[in-house]
């Protein structure tokens, strides 16, 4: 992080009265904002733009995706994940089948089946499938079969519709990739697997319901170990990639060559862009075909590029640079899809570098990342440092960025866009009744399922934001706690003691309206006691909101009105109170302002957006549940260079209950 970013807003120091600071700025009590605007000169320096009407100024017609709004209505749109569910260990894969089943796997070899419901998902079955980490999974084109392979040399085959494991192989090698390579409705389920114990690119094809003996061996396609395969049901073609960056197309039947029955299919690789990975010395980590198999998208390492290729011509049609260098330059220039605070950006950048480091088992965590398509084939969805991007491949624009404020690095994605439930015959009276039950049957519930780096949970993004009153309910505890977790919880309960007699809510009456706050006396007893004590004594009456930063927070509680004053009800600073139950993961969080660790007095602030970089730095003791419009009205007032409103906004008094 550059030295230029170390201004007053990033310093948690208490301001000394009368002390001069560089640039007329002073240290304050309060949280650092995520972005600091700096004044720019009004003078233009550099070349002037070409005059209007000059030769060469004719603008190209922008490409437009017809019915884009309709497509976007069938995609998740929430900024925050709606629910999350647990495994006992970190997850690595999530797969959505054509039959509406979600399958999640974790590194401890466990596998879970979930069924998509009209709203949300329902747990179906849990398999302790492998004794070693799962390294590869595949679902058949018709969604009837699913396979998983493990480092212990085992392969398991599942009948998805009947929730049953129907076959298992004990291989004499360690597999690293698997893929179903049979068409829909084909009686024999063909499963292709590749070994890591050989220096060659040999691929073996098995009958998924057979005895574990290979039906065919493909050993003339690749000279280097194959680590990735994808199958096109429409063209009956397999796309495979090896660890040296070579990509091959082949039919899963003898003689395992480039398909000749596909109209317009390329014949010579020299006419395609499939050498792109070899040229850039990169390796694809995923190959995902569009719903109609007309295109496929890849993500590659170490260059971190998203590439889209035409299946028929092999030409590269789109390329998006997601490299760390590019993101750093855009962050510095302020042209990213979402501007992140410099400290938070540095943390995320360090995490991205960690993703490229091999783990103890030799696997690189970034290899779990993938890119997927929506049902229209017009949008590509993939996880990045900034969040989950939804890119319109026709207009080349990021149309959505989900999870940008979540403290999770999302990795492996799966998308559900199923059709609404059939409601049968509709009468004229039913159509005119505006019955919400009937309307719900026609409503879709598009859901994006995501794993997270080193997370024992998978996350669901829908078109609904999590309810603020039920924030703790969005993380479902569907697994029994371990002995270690039980001991920690017991110790925590013992330390908390009995129920708190403190107030549980408060109403801040201001000159522009009322703000209703729900207090957390169990998680932050001292902060709540201090706030309630000051409120009942009239300490806050007439106090102004002295620091207001749009899209960040509003701060008050200083009787001096300049950010330098205020004491606790005990006449001294009191310690911080941090709880794992409360995070700055959403707006309207009420926290103590401070000048460093354990320096809480009387000042507090209300956030207007998610501010995860403040976790474990500022004590959360409340959350606004009503009067949100008042918070935003204060947030949007005009302020001076010291971030103080030009017109005073005062606290009239505070009622507590």
Point out the catalytic residue in the list 256, 311, 449, 605. Answer: 605
Cis peptide before 302 (omega within 30 of 0): yes
Domain spans, the chain? 68-422+433-473, 499-656
Backbone angles phi, psi at 593, to 5 degrees: -85, 145
pLDDT at 363: 82
Structure tokens at 268: 């010579």
- Respond yes or no: is residue 186 known to be catalytic: no
Residue scoring higher pLDDT (571 or 422): 571
Which residues are registered as beta bridge partners of 228?
A: 241
- In percent, the amount of the chain with pLDDT more than 90 equals 63
Encode pLDDT of 38-96 as tens digits.
444 444 444 445 455 555 555 667 788 999 999 999 999 999 999 999 999 999 999 99
Whether 9 has a pLDDT exceeding 60, the answer reads: no
Chain centroid, CA 247 distance in Å? 29
CA dist list (Å): 545 to 553, 560, 647: 11, 11, 10
Whether 27 has a pLDDT exceeding 80, the answer reads: no
Provide CATH code, domain 499-656: 2.40.100.10
210 dihedral zone (left: phi>0; alpha: psi -120 to 50; beta)? beta
Give the pLDDT band (50/70/90) at residue 440.
Answer: low
267 dihedral zone (left: phi>0; alpha: psi -120 to 50; beta)? alpha
User: Alpha-carbon distance 22 to 445, whole Å?
Assistant: 54
Residue 187 CB burial class (10 angstroms; 0-12, 13-18, ≥19)? exposed
SS3 629: helix
Q: Are 234 and 268 spatial neighbours (Cβ–Cβ below 8 Å)?
A: no
- Respond yes or no: is residue 277 known to be catalytic: no
User: Alpha-carbon distance 259 to 265, whole Å?
Assistant: 8
- Respond yes or no: is residue 594 known to be catalytic: yes
Find the range with the poorest average confidence among 29-38, 170-179, 443-452, 463-472: 29-38
Point out the catalytic residue in the list 355, 614, 621, 623. Answer: 614
SS3 350: helix
Encode pLDDT of 597-617 as tens digits.
899 999 999 999 989 899 999
3-class SS letters over 435-495: CHHHHHHHCCCCEEEEEECCCCEEEEECCCCCCHHHHHHCECCCCCCCHHHHHHHHHHHHH
Find the range with the poorest average confidence among 63-77, 176-190, 196-210: 196-210
Residue 382: closest CA among 303, 307, 324, 446: 307
Instruction: Tally the C-alpha atoms within 13 A of residue 602's C-alpha that lie toward its C-beta.
Output: 28
Q: Which residue has the tokens 């304050």?
A: 28
State the DSSP code for 222: -
Residue 244: closest CA among 200, 297, 193, 295: 200
Give the pLDDT band (50/70/90) at residue 444.
Answer: confident
- Respond yes or no: is residue 440 known to be catalytic: no
Structure tokens at 318: 């789109």
Q: Are 178 and 172 spatial neighbours (Cβ–Cβ below 8 Å)?
A: no
Q: Are 395 and 87 spatial neighbours (Cβ–Cβ below 8 Å)?
A: no
Point out the catalytic residue in the list 110, 182, 534, 547. Answer: 547
Maximal CA-CA distance, the chain: 87
Structure tokens at 199: 């220096």
256 dihedral zone (left: phi>0; alpha: psi -120 to 50; beta)? left
pLDDT at 290: 97
- Respond yes or no: is residue 586 known to be catalytic: no
Whether 175 has a pLDDT exceeding 80, the answer reads: yes
Residue 42 CB burial class (10 angstroms; 0-12, 13-18, ≥19)? exposed
Whether 6 has a pLDDT exceeding 50, the answer reads: no
Cis peptide before 644 (omega within 30 of 0): no
- Respond yes or no: is residue 618 known to be catalytic: yes
Whether 98 has a pLDDT exceeding 70, the answer reads: yes
Encode pLDDT of 488-520 as tens digits.
555 544 444 444 456 889 999 999 999 999 999
Residue 643: closest CA among 41, 14, 30: 30
Let me know the angle formed at the C-alpha of 78 by 624 and 36, rounded to the nearest 5 degrees.
65
Point out the catalytic residue in the list 331, 456, 530, 594. Answer: 594
SS3 258: coil
Point out the catalytic residue in the list 92, 530, 555, 603. Answer: 555
Provide CATH code, domain 68-422+433-473: 2.130.10.10
SS3 635: helix
| Averaged pLDDT score across all residues of the chain | 85
Whether 307 has a pLDDT exceeding 90, the answer reads: yes
Encode pLDDT of 360-377 as tens digits.
777 899 999 999 999 999
- Respond yes or no: is residue 547 known to be catalytic: yes
Average pLDDT over residues 230-254: 94
Q: Which residue has the tokens 């990739």?
A: 177
pLDDT at 219: 87
Chain centroid, CA 560 distance in Å? 42
Sheet containing 513-519: give its strands across.
Answer: 547-549, 553-556, 604-607, 589-592, 620-626, 513-519, 505-510, 651-656
pTM over 0.85: no
pLDDT at 11: 35
Point out the catalytic residue in the list 299, 305, 552, 621. Answer: 552
Which residues are registered as beta bridge partners of 304?
A: none
Give the pLDDT band (50/70/90) at residue 425.
Answer: low
């Amino acid at each position: 992080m550059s030295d230029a970013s170390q201004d007053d807003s990033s310093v948690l120091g208490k301001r000394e009265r009368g002390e001069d600071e560089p640039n007329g700025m002073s240290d304050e009590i309060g949280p650092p904002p995520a972005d600091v605007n700096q004044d720019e000169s009004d003078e233009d320096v550099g070349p002037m733009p070409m005059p209007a009407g000059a030769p060469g100024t004719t603008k190209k017609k922008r490409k437009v995706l017809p019915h884009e709004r309709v497509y976007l209505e069938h995609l998740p749109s929430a900024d925050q994940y709606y629910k999350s569910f647990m495994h006992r260990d970190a997850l690595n894969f999530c797969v959505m089948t054509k039959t509406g089943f979600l399958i999640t796997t974790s590194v401890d070899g466990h596998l879970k089946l979930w069924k998509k419901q009209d709203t949300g998902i329902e747990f179906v079955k849990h398999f302790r499938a492998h004794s070693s980490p799962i390294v590869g999974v595949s679902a058949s084109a018709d969604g009837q079969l699913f396979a998983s392979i493990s480092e212990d040399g085992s392969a398991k085959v599942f009948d998805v519709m009947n929730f049953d494991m129907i076959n298992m192989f004990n291989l004499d090698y360690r597999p690293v990739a698997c893929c179903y390579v049979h068409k829909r409705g084909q009686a024999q389920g063909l499963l292709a697997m590749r070994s890591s114990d050989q220096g060659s690119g040999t691929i073996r094809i098995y009958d998924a319901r057979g005895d574990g003996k290979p039906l065919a061996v493909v050993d003339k396609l690749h000279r280097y170990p194959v680590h990735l395969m994808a199958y096109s049901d429409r063209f009956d073609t397999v796309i495979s990639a090896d660890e040296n960056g070579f990509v091959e197309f082949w039919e899963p039947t003898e003689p395992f060559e480039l398909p000749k029955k596909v109209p317009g299919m390329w014949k010579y690789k020299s006419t395609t862009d499939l050498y792109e990975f070899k040229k850039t010395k990169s390796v694809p980590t995923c190959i995902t075909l569009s719903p109609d198999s007309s295109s496929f998208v890849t993500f590659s390492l170490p260059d971190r590029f998203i590439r889209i290729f035409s299946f028929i011509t092999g030409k590269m049609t789109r390329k998006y640079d997601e490299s760390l260098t590019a993101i750093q330059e855009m962050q510095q220039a302020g042209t990213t899809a979402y501007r992140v605070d410099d400290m938070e950006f540095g943390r995320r950048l360090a995490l991205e570098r960690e993703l490229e480091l091999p783990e103890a088992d030799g696997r690189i965590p970034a290899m779990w990342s993938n890119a997927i398509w929506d049902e229209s084939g017009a949008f590509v969805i993939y996880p990045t440092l900034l969040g989950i991007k939804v890119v319109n491949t026709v207009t080349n624009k990021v149309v959505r960025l989900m999870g940008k404020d979540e403290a999770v690095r999302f990795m492996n994605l799966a998308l559900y866009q199923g059709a609404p439930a059939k409601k049968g015959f509709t009468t004229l009276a039913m159509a005119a009744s505006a019955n919400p039950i009937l309307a719900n049957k026609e409503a879709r519930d598009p859901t994006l399922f995501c794993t997270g780096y080193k997370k024992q949970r998978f996350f669901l993004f829908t078109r609904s934001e999590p309810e603020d009153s039920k924030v703790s309910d969005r993380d479902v505890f569907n697994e029994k706690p371990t002995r270690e977790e039980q001991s920690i919880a017991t110790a925590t309960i013992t330390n908390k003691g009995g129920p708190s007699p403190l107030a549980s809510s408060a109403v801040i009456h201001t000159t522009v309206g009322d703000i209703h706050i729900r207090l957390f006396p169990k998680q932050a007893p001292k902060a709540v006691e201090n706030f309630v004590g000051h409120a009942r004594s009239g300490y806050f009456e007439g106090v102004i909101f002295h620091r207001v930063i749009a899209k960040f927070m509003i701060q008050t509680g200083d009787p001096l009105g300049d950010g330098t004053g205020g004491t606790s009800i005990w006449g001294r600073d009191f310690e911080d109170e941090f709880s794992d139950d409360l995070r700055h993961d959403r707006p309207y969080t009420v926290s103590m302002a401070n000048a460093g660790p354990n320096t809480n007095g009387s000042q507090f602030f209300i956030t207007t957006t998610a501010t995860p970089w403040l976790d474990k730095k500022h004590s959360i003791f409340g959350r606004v549940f009503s009067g949100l419009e008042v918070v935003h009205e204060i947030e949007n007032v005009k302020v001076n260079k010291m971030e103080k409103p030009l017109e005073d906004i005062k606290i009239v008094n505070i009622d507590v209950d």
